[in-house]
Amino acid sequence: MSTENVWQEKITPARFDGKTVIVTGAGSGIGKATALRVAQEGGKVIAADISGERLGELVAENPELSIVAVAGDITDQHVVDRIVAAGEGKVDALANVAGIMDKFEPIHEVEDSTWERVFNVNLNSILKLTRSVVPLMLEAESGTVVNVASEAGLRGSAAGVAYTASKHAVVGMTKNSAVMYGKKGIRFNAVAPGAVQTNIEAPMDSAYAQQVIAPLMSIIPGMATAAQLAASITFLLSDDSTNINGVVLASDTGWSAI
């Protein structure tokens, strides 16, 4: 079952009026769709991505929207500092979307360089950025953070060991922060996408994984669009999700129910 052919994105006017929202991975796929949706609904978006070219296109194609581009590698604290500084002391919401896949390597095949890069981009960057943003939210006594996990944060059959472990860690970071900051008016939630049509590279280079994992992936019920994921992410970023804290929302065409 997939709704991608019939569903149309519908803007909720003014849902993010007056809000400053950081979106990482805003140059492509789910992050770009999220940045556009927030900006179209009245928010000021701080769009972060390693690709200055992609960010330049995003801004040039949408001159009517309030989008501030910050290019750089979000694993670098100096880049994180520039992203937060673009908020000029105000960050109402943070969408940690940027991430990279592995090549489906099981633990006996994974190289240190893959493990370290996947953890740096998928997890450590979220630590750095969130740690820098939370003091502003504590001062404001409000804020929302949405971390993009994955079906691989819910099950063991959606990627290699590095990506799977990194996304399970994103889930843990989300739940701990939800408890730590819930009473301070700051909500933390995660979205776990299933298969989504984007530019992410996910080559199943491991012959071992092709034998073990590929058959299990045949149950995937459908491919979503990036805009469908943006609908789930912006719901959790917005005040519409006021009573929701610490959830991992599977946005996966029903994959997690199988």
Ligand X SMILES: NC(=O)c1ccc[n+]([C@@H]2O[C@H](COP(=O)([O-])OP(=O)(O)OC[C@H]3O[C@@H](n4cnc5c(N)ncnc54)[C@H](O)[C@@H]3O)[C@@H](O)[C@H]2O)c1
Binding residues for ligand X (CB under 6 A): 25, 27-31, 49-51, 54, 73-75, 97-100, 121, 148, 150-151, 193, 195-196, 198-200
Catalytic residue among 19, 32, 128, 167: 167
Closest CA to 207 of 112, 113, 118, 105: 105
| Tokens read off for 207 | 């012959």
* CB of 38 or CB of 50, closer to ligand X: 50
In the beta sheet, which residues pair with residue 21? 45, 93
Instruction: Select which of 19, 163, 175, 181 is catalytic.
Output: 163
Is residue 167 annotated as part of the catalytic site, yes or no? yes
Minimum CB separation from ligand X for residue 38, in Å?
15
What are the φ and ψ backbone dihedral angles of 47, each rounded to 5 degrees? -95, 115
Q: Which two tokens stand for residue 60?
A: 């040039």
- Least gap, CB of 202 to ligand X (angstroms): 7
Considering the complex, state which of residue 134 and residue 224 has its C-beta at the smaller distance from ligand X.
224
Cβ nearer to ligand X, comparing 73 with 109: 73
Q: How many CB atoms lie within 10 A of CB 68?
A: 17
Determine phi and psi for 147, rounding to 5 degrees: -100, 130
Q: How far is the CB of 184 from ligand X (least distance, A)?
A: 26
Q: How far is the CB of 68 from ligand X (least distance, A)?
A: 15
Q: Which residue, 177 or 198, has its beta carbon nearer to ligand X?
A: 198
Q: Return the bridge partners of 94, or none.
A: 22, 145
Catalytic (active site) residue 44 = no
Strands (E), 12-105: 20-24, 44-49, 67-71, 93-96
Active site residues: 163, 167
